[in-house]
Amino acid sequence: MERTPIELMHKVPTYLLYNLEGLENMELEWPKLLKLQTPKGTFLTSPAATSFAVMETKDENCLAYINYVVNKFNGGAPTVYPVDIFARLWAVDRLQRLGVSRFFAPEIKNCLDHVYRFWTEKGSYSGRESEFCEIDDTSMGIRLLRLHGYNISPNALSNFKKGDEFTCYVGQGFESPSPIFNLYRASQVLFPGETILEQARQFSYNFLRERLQKDQLLDKWLISKHLPDEARFYIQNYSVDDIWIGKSLYRMPDINNEAYLELAKLDYNKCQAQHQMEWNRMEQWYEDSSLEFGISKKELLLFYFLASASIFEPERSGERSAWVKSQIVYTILSEQRIDLSSEFRNGQRRNWGLITILFETIRDLKSHAQERIGRDISDLLLDAVSSMDWNKERNCCSKYMEIEKEMQLLVKLVLQESSNGISKDIKQTFLMVAETFYYRAYFATEQIDKHVTKVLFDPVL
């Protein structure tokens, strides 16, 4: 109560509305409070608070809401209802993090269409049509809607900013790591010039780093840097028995259930078996190609690991193969500064094996592009190769801010709809390639080796 003055409580929706039944000894101005109901008659989706309002005011809208809830739940009432926004957002997030979202594309679209329909400039709350919003649902909504191509502004986050800090909602006394983690995740879909997301990223990063150093992170899946093995990491830490805390303890089967986990395990092991067979073929190709350009089998395994961790679906085998071969060509050309276009034009055969691999890769990329987008891109690929100047010194000291701006622009190009004819899948692949460069720059070789072993060769039990 000290953090939320009673005067404010009667003017704008605050979290105190959720706990009205605990304020019976206070002088409540019900005519003002009743103006803060949702269109369905509830106070912050709380049957208990709304029941207290019925007892005090006999308000018909409140009573209609209580009757509806009691009938729907066969004489009982849950802690909160509805939770349609929260349930949809977190269900989509869980399916994505378990690596099985591709099986539920229509359902995910329906969920996010529903969230987008009820989105407001103030943000979002667990239940639709609430004037009260908080940072957890708002952050998750911004992130997921933007990742799926919806035109969404992050400016709603300014409602939760006070000075240099962000808070879950007005009057919050102790910030939980989980909402701030979702704020940090939302900041990762930053477009150029979005100051509010830049501020959110800086605050959430510092907040979480401090909690990490003090060992004050209670959420078991929090602060994961597992880019390539994220699905595996989440499968191993996903709990079907998570209990949510409100006025009582409750479970949400739309978010945590055994079926999600079982599907994720089966799919992961199926994909892993496919990847192991592909790796065996890749090893044979390596031997048959007699590569003598300084590419070791360990490097080849790393290239395949990055490809399979990024494009893991069994049916995309050809794309993984093209990724690995193009990575081989790029590495050889950049490290040895071989001008293939000049050699090819002049009829030199000194690096003919490498030229063969390059054309195999172009052929594969052309074939897969034809299948996925119905477009012949061979001219584009050849132009890209011939335009490379491998003799020019590369600037390896690009400034951090320049890289950040370029990544922000790439994220925007990938996530926003465009009229350039490039499919969403192809744009997503570009972004995944960029992410693997970040991954290799961040992790030590020893840690990467552990990831390779775990992801490619250790089954999920």
User: What are the pLDDT digits (tens) for 37-53?
Assistant: 998 899 888 999 999 99
Q: What is the model's pTM? A: 0.82
CATH number at 368 reads: 1.10.600.10
* Residue predicted with more confidence, 336 or 111: 111
pLDDT cut 90: percent of the chain above it: 42
> Final residue of a domain: which of 43, 72, 101?
72
CA distance 4 to 14: 8
Strand partners for 250: 244
**DSSP states of 382-404:** HHHHHT--TTSPP-----HHHHH
Most confident of 253-267, 335-349, 367-381, 389-403: 253-267
Q: Do residues 48 and 156 both lie within one domain?
A: no
CA distance 8 to 224: 39
The answer to whether 174 and 193 have CB atoms below 8 angstroms apart is no
> Final residue of a domain: which of 208, 231, 260?
260
Say yes or no to pLDDT of 233 above 80. Answer: no
Per-residue DSSP letter, 44: T
pLDDT cut 70: percent of the chain above it: 73
Q: What was the pLDDT predicted at 144?
A: 98
- Residue 241 domain-assigned (yes or no): yes
- Residue 344 domain-assigned (yes or no): yes
- Residue 1 domain-assigned (yes or no): no
Alpha-carbon 440 to chain mean position: 20
The answer to whether 203 and 184 have CB atoms below 8 angstroms apart is no
Quote the tokens at residue 220.
């078991």
Neighbours of 225 (CB within 10 A): 10
Q: Do residues 246 and 383 both lie within one domain?
A: no
Give the H or E element holding residue 244: strand 244-245
Dump pLDDT digits (tens) for 153-162: 999 999 999 8
Q: Do residues 314 and 423 both lie within one domain?
A: yes
- Residue 167 domain-assigned (yes or no): yes
Question: Which pLDDT band, with edges at 50, 70 and 90, does 397 fall under?
Answer: very low
Quote the tokens at residue 97.
């993090």
- The total number of structural domains that make up the chain: 3
Average pLDDT of the chain to the nearest whole number: 81
- Residue 79 domain-assigned (yes or no): no
The torsion region of residue 291 among left (phi > 0), alpha (psi -120 to 50) and beta comes to beta
Domain hosting residue 31, numbered range: 6-72
What angle, 0 to 180 degrees and rounded to 10, lies between the N-to-C axes of helices 177-187 and 195-213? 140
Q: Do residues 16 and 122 both lie within one domain?
A: no
> Final residue of a domain: which of 209, 235, 260?
260
Q: Do residues 344 and 431 both lie within one domain?
A: yes
How far is the CA of 315 from the CAs of 244, 263, 374, in angstroms? 38, 18, 17
Question: Which pLDDT band, with edges at 50, 70 and 90, does 105 fall under?
Answer: very high
Q: Do residues 93 and 234 both lie within one domain?
A: yes
Amino acid (one-letter) located at 19: N
CA distance 447 to 228: 12
